[in-house]
Structure 1
Amino acid sequence: MPQGSPTPWSYLLIRLLFKFVLRIFYGTVVVENAELIPKTGRPWIVCANHSNSLTDALLLVDAVPSRIRNMLRLTAKSTQFGRKTFTSWLIESAGTVPLKRRKDYEQGSINNADNSEVMEKLMEALEMGDAICLFPEGASRYHPTIAPLKTGVSRIVSDILTRNRDNPEFEISVLTCSITYMHRQHFRSDVLVTFNPPMAFRVKDNPELLAPVNYDEIRALTARMHQEISSRTIDAPSWEIVRTAKLASRIYVPLGTKMSLGDYVRVTRIFVEAFKDFDRMRDKSSHEGEKVEYTDEDVNLLQLRRDLQIYQDQLSRWGIKDDRIRQPLARGTIASRLLIRLIWSLFLFTISLPGLFLWLPVFCTTFYAVHNFKKTGPIWDTWDEIAQYKLIYGLISGLCVWFGSILITLPKAAITAVVIPSLMWMTLRWLEDAVSAFRAFTALVRLLRVGKGTLKGMRKEREALHERVMKLAVLTLGLPKDPETYFLEAGGREKGRVRNGWESGARYFSVRRRRKRDWNETLRLYDKTDYPEDSL
C-alpha cells in the first residue's frame, strides 16, 4: 500500500501557525465528519466551495487531522508564485502546486496556460497515496451562491483510473467539503467545515470513466459534486434571500436555543431553498417565455419573504434584535439592565486596557492593509480576500509585537514569551464580552426611544410572522414542531461557544471561549444584518 509523500517541515510549521491564527480570527471553527477522511496512503481528492481565497485552503489544512492524513497537497493560481511576499513564500513552502488560469494570460496565449505538466504531477502524487485539494469553481469570489463547477476534478478521476486500468483494484476517493462562513471577513465570526460522504471510484467498478470516456459521464460526475457541496451549505442566488432566511431561522429557533452551528446552518439552508424556489419558477418563465401558474402557496411564500424583509429593515433601523420584540421588557427592567450592562462593559474595557495596548499595532496594521486593498477593485473581486489579508497581516504584526516585547524585557524574556500571548488572549476574551455588553446597552437605549404603541404593534406583527414561519417550517418544510427541545437534545458538541456547565458558569473569564447565544455575532459594536447590494 502506498505510504504517501513525506511531510515538509514548512508544511508542519504552517499548519501549527495557522491553526493558532484561525482560532484567534474566527471565534469558533466547527469541523463535521472528519472521520470520513481516508487515511494516508489512500488516494484522495478533497474539493470544496471557494468563497474566501487562501483562507479556504488554510481552513482545510487545519480541519484535516494529522493523525489521519500527514499532508494535504494544495493548489493555487500560478500568479501567486514567484513574488517577494510573505503570501508567496507561504504558498510555495507548503508544497503547493501552481495552476495556470486562462484568464490570467493575454487572449491568444492559451498555450501559456497549459496545465498538462501540473496534472501529471498531481496524478503522480495521488498514485503515491497523497491527498490533494482542489476548488472546482476555478476562482474565489464574494458571492452568496456557488459558481458552476469546472470539470477538472472529474477529468482527473477519469485520467488516473485510465492510467491504472491494468490494476482492477485501484481506487480513488473524492470527498466533497462544504465551507460555511457566518461572516467570512469579520473578526471573531464563526465557520463550519462539513466533510460529505466520500465517493469512491474503482477501476473494475467504474468502466464508464475509463478512456475513451463519454463526456456526459464527466458532466454527470461534476453535477453530482456540485449537488453534494451545495446541499450542506448556505447557497443562495442573492444576499436578500440569505438575509431573509437567517431571520426566518431566528424566528423559528428563538435566540438562546442551544443548537450546534451545523444545525443552525442546515435550518437556514432549508429556508433558503424554500425562498429561492419561487425565483427558479420566475426565472424559468422569463427565459422560456412560458406563463407559470402560481399557486396560493407560492403567493403566500412570496408575501412572507417580503414581510420578513420589511420586519428586518425595521429592526435594523432601530438597532435591536428580534428577541427584544419576542420577549418585551418593562421600562423599569430596561433601566436596571442599562445600568448593569454599562457598568459591566466599562469594567471589562478597563481590565482590557493593558492588553489592548499590545493589540493596537495588530488592529492598526490590519485596518490599514484592508482599507487600501478595498480600493483596488469592486466588492465581488476583492472582498473574498479580506480575511486572508487580516490573517496574514495580523500574524506578522502579532509576531512583531511578541518579539518586540521579548527584546524590551530581555533579562526576563522567558517569562515575557509566555505572559504576553496569555495576556493578549485573555484581553481578546474580555474585549468580546465588553463589546457584547455595550452592544446590549445601546440596544436597550434604542428600545427606550421606541414608543410603547409602536412596540405593541411590532409585537403583533411579529406574532403573525411567527405563526406563518412555523406553518411553513412544520407543515411544508418538515422541520420539528418544538425546535427548542429538539435541538437541545440533538447531537453536536458545539452548543454555543461552551461545552459544559463549568464553562457556562464562568463564561466571562473562560480561557477557552465565551458563551454565545447568537451564531451571527462578530466582534463589532453593531449586529451584522446588512449585506452588499446584489447588483454589486
Structure 2
Amino acid sequence: MAKKIGYMNNYVYDAFLWVFSMLVELFFREVHPRSSWKVPKKGPVLFVCAPHANQFVDPLILMRVVKKASDRRIHFLIAEKSMKRRFVGAMAGLAGSVPVGRAMDSTKPGIGKIYLPDPVNDPCLVRGVGTNFESKEFQVGGTISLPTVNNLAANTEIGEIMGPEELRLKRPFKGGVAMQQLTGRDDMTEEGRFIDGAESRKGPAPGFEGINFKIAPKMNQREVYDAVHDVLHQGGSVGIFPEGGSHDRTELLPLKAGVAIMALGTMESKPDCGLKIIPVGMNYFHAHKFRSRAVIEFGNPLEVPMELVEKYSHGGRREAIGTVLEMVRQALVSVTVQTPDYETLMLIQAVRRLYNPKGKKLPLPMVVELNRRLVQGYAKYKDDPRIIDLKKAVQAYNKRLLAVNIRDHQVQYAKKNIFMILWLLIYRTLKLMVLSIFVIPGFTLFAFVFFCGKVISIKKSREALAASSVKIQARDVMATWKLLVAMAIAPITYAFWVTIFTYWCHRNRIQGYVPQWISLKLFALVQCIVFPTITYAALRFGEVGMDIAKSLWPLMKMLSPWSNNELLSLQKRREVLTERVNNIINTLGPEMFPDFDSKRIIADPFSHSPPVSPTGAPKSDTYSFPTSPTSDGTPSKHLPRNESFKDLNNTDFFSTRPSTPKKSRSRHGSAGGFPLKAFSTLDSKDSLDEVSRKIRDGLRERGRRRSSGADGWEMGSGASTPVSEELDGSLQMTKKEK
C-alpha cells in the first residue's frame, strides 16, 4: 500500500530535528525568534514564510523555533525535484513533507520564436515564427518564459491556443524589458507603458524576427491541495514559502496563488475549523556566510473572512484568491525588511548606524525593526530633496570607507591618542596570538571540511545561477551546500583522524604518552568525544579572533600620519552626517509614525529638552522625561520609565508573551530605600505630606542614579503612567478618603 502524501512519523521528525538543530547551532551565531508566542498551540495553522533565502535552512530553523515555542510539528511543502534526491527525499517524506511540482523545474526551450503583433491594443495576443502551439508541449494553463535579463525572466500563463502560430495569454507580460524583448521597440518606460506618441505605431519594430522562449506544462496540484486540507482539518500545521523558490534578492518575489487556494479550500470544506494564517519573516544577516545571524519574526494571525469563502465557492474564485494573496503579502511586509535593490539596502544599513551615534549594540530584533522603519520612511520620502542630498552624502561616505578599507564603527579610533592606539594594537595582537593557539588544533581537524564546503558551495551556486531566472548571485544555495557537505564529510574527516591516532597509539602509544592500561577501544571512543569538542571550541575562539583581526588594520593606519589625517577627516564627516540623519529623521518621523516620540528605538542625542505634545504638555522619549510638581509647587524630574534593555518584559519586541509583573511580597518599598509604614497610622495631613515627600525624594534619587550609570539603550513606550504620578494620585485619593 502506497504511503499517504503528508504522512508524518513523529519520532523520525523529532530525531531529524534534534540532529539538524546541532548543525544550525554550528552554522549560525545567533537565531532569535521574535513574537513566537503568537503561534497558537492548538488548531489548524498555515505558516506563510518569506523571503525564501534557503531551501534547506529556512524550514529547519522554523521547525526548531516552532517546536520550542509551541510544541508543534510542521508539514512543509517541498519541491518535487528535491524529493527525488535519495537521502533528502526519504527524510523529508518521513518528516511529513508534501511534494509539489513546480513549473520552473519542467521548463524546456520552445521551438521557434514569438513576438507581439499588436502590443498597444492587444498585448495578450502572441504570434509565433516556426512554432507549433498545437503540439502536446503547449497546454492551456502552461507557462511561457522569456530569456533572462538582469537575472530576471518574465513569464505568464497560456489562456487559449488559437492555432499552430497564434495563442492568447491569460495576462500580458509585465515590465518594459519584456515588452522590448517581444517587440524590439524601445519607446516605452521601465513599467512597460508606451511614451507619448508611441501608441500610434502598431506592431513590432521593423525587421524584428521574434525572440526565443521556454515552455513549461500546466501543473496539476489536486493531490497537494487534498493533502494540505487533510492536515489542516485534523488541526495540524502546514508551512509554505509562497514565493515558489529560494532566492537572494532584497525584495519579495510575487506570491504564488497556491497559499490562497489552500486557505480558501480548507475553509470551504470545513468553515468552522478556525484556520489561522501566521506570517513569518525570515530575516537573515549574511545568510550564506558561516556563523551568520537570523531573526525569525511571527506576525499577527490572519483569519480568512467568510464572505471571501462564499465568493470563492460561488463564481468569484479569482477575486477571492487575489484578495487573500494581498492580505498575505501585506502581512509579510510587516515582518520583513524589503528594499528594491542591494544598493538601497546598503544605504539603509549605513543610515541605521549613523542614527545610532553612540554605537551602542542593539539586539537583533531592534535592528530588524529599525531597518524596517527606515525602509518605510525612505520609500515614502525618497523624492524629497533633503533625502536625495542625504543619500548622495551617505553613499560618498560609504565609498570613502571602502577606499580606506575600514568599517563605520572603526572610525571612532580617530578620537584616541597615539599612545592609546599603540597600546591597543599591542594588546589585541597578543590576544590574537593567544587565541590562535586554541584555534589551530580545531582548524587542523576541520580544515578539509571547510575547504570542501567552500569549493562545492561555489560550484553549486554557479550552476543554480545559470538555471534560475530570479537569483542574483545564488547565495541562497551556498548555505544549503555548506551544511550538506559538512554533514557528509565531517564524519569521514573525524573517522580519518581517529584512525590515524588510534594506529599511532597501537604502534608506540603515541611516543609513550598514552599509558598501557588504556585500551584502543577506549582511546578511540575518547577521540570521538574530544575531536568535535576541540572543533567547536576552536570555532568559538575563532569568532573572537576574527573580530580582533579585523580591528588591527585601522589601528595600524592610525599610527601613520597620512592615514591618521584621513581617519580624522572621516570622523568629522561622520559627525556631520550623524547630525543630518538625526535631524531629518526627527523631522519626518512624526509625520509618518504618529507614535514616533513615544515608541522611538534610539533617542535623539542632540535634544536637550523634552518634546512637547500638541496640548503643550511635555512628552516622554528615551532621554527626556515629563515632570511632576513637588510639594512646594516647583517642577522636578521624576523616575525614568522602566524601559531599559535589562527589563525585557515591558517591551513588545521580544519573543516571550508580555507578562503581568508579579506583586512584591516585601513590606518595604524599594524606591527610596526606607520602610513604609501602614497607612492606618497616617492620622494627619502632615503625615501624608511627609510620606509623599519621602517617596518623591527617593524616586528622584533613584532616577539620578539611573541617568548617570545606565549603560544600555532605553526606549519610551508611551503606554505607561509615570510612577510618581501614580503614587501622587494614590496619596491624593487617600487624603480625600481620610
Q: Which residue of 2 aligns with 1:365?
A: 452
Deviation at 1:420, TM superposition (A): 2.2
Q: Secondary structure at the match of 1:28?
A: strand
C-alpha deviations, 1:223-252, integer Å up to 9, x for none?
121122122222000111110111111111
Q: Any idea what SS the aligned residue of 1:436 has?
A: helix
Question: What pairs up with 1:429-444 in 2 under 5 angstroms?
Answer: 429-444=540-555
* C-alpha contact 1:245 1:269 (8 A) present in aligned 2: no
Quick one: distance in 2 between partners of 1:123 and 1:365?
42
Question: How far, CA to CA, are the matches of 1:196 and 1:349 in structure 2?
Answer: 43
CA-based RMSD: 2.8
CA–CA distance in structure 2, aligned partners of residues 428 and 212 of structure 1: 59
Residue range with higher mean Cα deviation, 311-320 or 473-482: 473-482
Q: How many angstroms does 1:365 deviate by?
A: 1.5
Choose which of 254, 267, 274 in structure 2 pairs with 1:171.
Answer: 274
Q: Which of the residues 220, 227, 239 maps onto 1:133?
A: 239
Give the distance between the partners of 1:357 and 1:452, measured in 2 at CA.
Answer: 38
CA distance in 2: counterparts of 1:443 and 1:458, whole angstroms: 12
Aligned counterpart, 2:345: 242
Once the two structures are TM-superposed, the CA of residue 24 in structure 1 deviates from its matched residue by 0.6
Seen in structure 2, the aligned counterparts of structure 1 residues 383 and 266 have a Cα distance that, compared at 3 Å, is: same
Q: Which residue number corresponds to residue 259 of structure 1?
A: 362
Alignment check: 8 A CA contact 2:45 2:232 kept? yes
1:481 maps to which of 597, 603, 607 = 603
Give the whole-Å Cα distance in 1 for the aligned partners of 2:473 and 2:547.
31
State the structure with bigger RCO (CA 8 A, min sep 6), 1 or 2.
1
Q: Is the 8 A contact 2:7 2:96 kept in 1?
A: no
Q: Distance in 1 between matches of 2:446 and 2:330?
A: 42
Q: Please say if residues 257 and 487 of structure 1, whose CA atoms lie closer than 8 Å, have aligned partners that are also in contact.
A: no
1:418 is the counterpart of 2:519 = no
Pick from 396, 420, 424 the counterpart of residue 488 of structure 2: 396
Aligned to 2:630: none
Letter in 1 for 2:400: Q
Distance 1:345 1:314 in 2: 28
Partner of 1:145: 251
Give 1:402 deviation, angstroms.
Answer: 3.8
1:463 matched residue in structure 2: 575
Moved more, 26-35 or 320-329: 320-329
Paired-residue identity, %: 21
Superposition pairs of residues 216-295 of structure 1, within 5 angstroms: 216-254=319-357, 256-277=359-380
Partners of 1:68 and 1:204 in 2: how far apart? 30
Distance 1:124 1:196, change over 3 A: same
Whether the 8 Å contact between 1:172 and 1:202 is mirrored in structure 2 is: no
Does residue 113 of the first structure (1) align with residue 219 of the second (2)?
Answer: yes
Q: Could you tell me the TM-score, scaled by structure 2's length? A: 0.60
3-state SS in 2 of match to 1:194: strand
SS in 2 for 1:73: strand
Letter aligned with residue 532 of structure 2: P
Would you tell me which structure has more helix in proportion to its own residues? 1
- C-alpha deviations, 1:455-504, integer Å up to 9, x for none? 333222211101111112223223443488777467389x9xxxxxxxxx
Task: After superposing the two structures, state which structure 1 stretch, 399-408 or 228-237, moved more.
Answer: 399-408
**Counterpart-to-counterpart distance in 2, 1:235 and 1:136:** 16
TM-score (norm 1): 0.81
Q: Secondary structure at the residue paired with 2:378?
A: helix
- Letter aligned with residue 368 of structure 1: V
Give, in whole Å, the separation in 1 of the partners of 2:294 and 2:389.
31
Mark the structure with the bigger radius of gyration: 2
Matched with 2:673 is none
| Structure 2 segments unaligned to the other structure (5+ residues) | 1-5, 108-136, 143-216, 503-520, 590-595, 606-621, 624-642, 654-711, 713-738
Report whether the alignment pairs 1:491 with 2:493: no
User: What's the counterpart of residue 290 of structure 1?
Assistant: none
Aligned equivalent of 1:291 = none
Instruction: Map 1:76-87 onto structure 2 (within 5 A).
Output: 76-84=78-86, 86-87=87-88
Alpha-carbon distance between aligned partners in 2 of 1:248 and 1:278, rounded to the nearest angstrom: 14
What is the CA distance between 1:356 and its match in structure 2? 1.3
Select the residue among 8, 14, 17 that pairs with 1:15: 17
Q: Secondary structure at the match of 2:70?
A: coil
Q: 2: distance between equivalents of 1:153 and 1:374?
A: 28
Alignment-mate amino acid for residue 486 of structure 2? G
1:64-117, CA deviations, whole angstroms, 9 ceiling, x for partnerless residues? 125724421011111112234x44444334221111112222452646621111
Q: Is the 8 A contact 1:43 1:131 kept in 2?
A: yes
Structure 1 gap segments, 5+ residues each: 280-293, 496-516, 518-536
Matched-pair contact (CA < 8 Å) for 2:44–2:274: yes
How far apart are the structure 1 equivalents of 2:490 and 2:357?
38
Alpha-carbon distance between aligned partners in 1 of 2:305 and 2:375, rounded to the nearest angstrom: 36
Moved more, 376-385 or 73-82: 376-385
Task: Specify the code of the residue in structure 2 equivalent to 1:399.
Answer: P
Cα distance between partner residues in 2 of 1:205 and 1:383? 39
**1:343 maps onto 2:430 in alignment:** yes
Give 1:124 shift.
0.9
1:325 correspondence with 2:411: yes
Displacement over 6 Å in runs of 4+: 483-487
Structure 2 counterpart of 1:476, one-letter code: L
